[in-house]
Structure 1
Amino acid sequence: MSIRDWPANERPRERLLQLGAQALTDAELLAIFLRTGVAGKSAVDLARELLQQFGGLRPLLQADLAGFSQPLGLGPAKFALLQAVLEMGRRHLAEQLQRDSALESPQAVRDYLKARLRHEPHEVFACLFMDSKHRVLAFERLFEGSIDAAAVYPRQVLKRALAHNAAALIITHNHPSGVAEPSEADRQLTLRLKEALALVDVRLLDHFVVGEGEPLSLAERGWL
């Protein structure tokens, strides 16, 4: 049965307009994105099958073009549309941070860092550079690979902070394992960078570790 033949209060688009996007299931949200199903399957049926094949919404969103195109004939056009939607979400979060003080919007910082780093298959170390009012000037990925205290160079972090004329910054890196618990190397790296940045009057406000859930703040742990 086509979704058009469903009762109005059961159709994903109508439910979204009535109840808000947060009320929909992953399959319903994905069905709205897909717009149409395939022979013998509604868009919701197709969405459920895709989620089952990929193992959830997150692996589907993280798939590259080859992985996305294999199941059920999804092609480059849908992949390009999905990437555009994801990038618009990241830019929306970035604009909010640029308008507001990062310290006054801790959840906005967490949401932005999750959007930028949670999907990465390897470790990425990045910085949010901020002005004296703690508004974001720029986000930069500085190091990639296996991140530890020896692999992150304070001199490069200082160089980029001075290039942005930053007064403060937040450092962040992801744990591809999904476990955001900081390691001893993470703590040592935080202290090294805090001391190095203080030499040029730049404050290190926090170090967030991004995993599967909410990013973990070393400042909130009292480790900064």
Structure 2
Amino acid sequence: MQSTTIKHWAEDDRPREKLIQKGVDALSNAELLAILINIGTTEKTAVDVAKEILGTVNNDLHQLARLSVKEMLKLKVKGIGEAKAVTIIAALELGIRKEASFTKKQVVLQSADIARFLKAKLQHKKHEVFAVIYLNRANKINHYEIISEGGITGTVADPRIILKKALENDAVNLILCHNHPSGNLKPSRADEDLTHKIKEAARYFDINVLDHIIVSEEGYFSFADEGIL
């Protein structure tokens, strides 16, 4: 009977050894996940277990990153207990935070400068979230904060809260942002009305709304780039 444990594979096929010898780019998603899983079951290798768990989310890492520990355990993949679920989720969260590591030293000159940061922060949210980036006169980030989180149907952003925090953080420029969990990037009429409401309110405090960016797994939409701010 052929063994199913990775230690009996050819060294070149073992995920850890393959990573060391050929680099991380040589590994598939399943092989990288197998390194986190570490040990499979009596019937399956860690790579087989990794393939199975990826199959439950249509091989979509974005979907996998959205799962909580309880949700991952509900998939009932043999070989994935609470400890391994925690390890996988922690690793995916590190990847998200790496993508979102936009430092305050960087200057925001255009939507593309900040869209990647916002996409990494918000694209995995299952419900709609409204966030604001507060910038100083040099367009460097002073502060980032999620202002409100709603249900699946939407969220409400209060201009008074946004402007209060702008004054607290010595911000002279703002970038508004929210996500569309549905994936659709087109702004709604309510999105446009809220943007103009906040922009008009900010004007009385000599604060500029530079952009409103909508993000999803599909990409981003910039009000400024589209000329509707």
Looking at structure 2, the residues matched to 53 and 90 of structure 1 have their Cα atoms a distance apart, in angstroms, of 21
Out of 147, 155, 164, the position equivalent to 1:159 is 164
Q: Return closer, same or farther for 1:180/1:105 CA change in 2, 3 Å cut-off.
A: closer
Alpha-carbon spacing, 1:58–1:155, altered in 2? closer, same or farther (3 Å): same
Question: For 2:216, which of 211, 214, 217 is the aligned residue?
Answer: 211
Alignment correspondent of 1:130? 135
Can you give the 5+ residue segments of structure 2 that lack an aligned partner in the other structure? none
User: Could you say which residue in structure 2 is the equivalent of 1:113?
Assistant: 118
Q: Report the CA distance shift for 1:6/1:178 in structure 2 as closer, same or farther (over 3 A).
A: same
By how many angstroms is 1:19 displaced? 5.5
Aligned to 1:100: 106
Q: Does 1:51 align with 2:54?
A: yes
Indicate yes or no: 2:91 matched with 1:88. Answer: no
- Report how far residue 82 of structure 1 moved: 3.1
Between the aligned partners of 2:175 and 2:201, the Cα distance in structure 1 is: 14
The RMSD of aligned alpha carbons is: 2.5
- Structure 1 SS opposite 2:56: helix
Conserved 8 A contact 1:35-1:43: yes
In structure 1, runs of 5+ residues without a counterpart are none
Residue type at the aligned position of 1:88: L
Tell me by how many angstroms 1:167 deviates.
Answer: 2.0
SS of match in other structure, 1:177: coil
User: 1:105 & 1:221 partners in 2: Cα distance?
Assistant: 11
TM-score, scaled to structure 1 = 0.84
Task: Tell me which structure has the larger Cα radius of gyration.
Answer: 2
AA paired with 1:194? K
Deviation at 1:60, TM superposition (A): 2.2
Does the aligned pair in 1 maintain the 2:175–2:211 contact within 8 Å?
yes
Name the structure with the higher helix share. Answer: 1
Q: 1:133 to 1:75 in 2, by over 3 A?
A: farther
Query: Residues 142 and 169 of structure 2 are in contact (CA less than 8 Å); yes or no, is this contact kept in structure 1?
Result: yes
Q: Is 2:31 the partner of 1:33? A: no
Which range is displaced more, 85-94 or 42-51? 85-94
Q: Deviations over 1:49-86 (max 9, x none)?
A: 11112333222221122221232252332233234334
- Which region of structure 1 is more displaced relative to structure 2, 93-102 or 30-39? 93-102
Partner in structure 2 of residue 66 of structure 1: 70
Which has the higher mean CA deviation after the structures are superposed, 27-36 or 92-101?
92-101
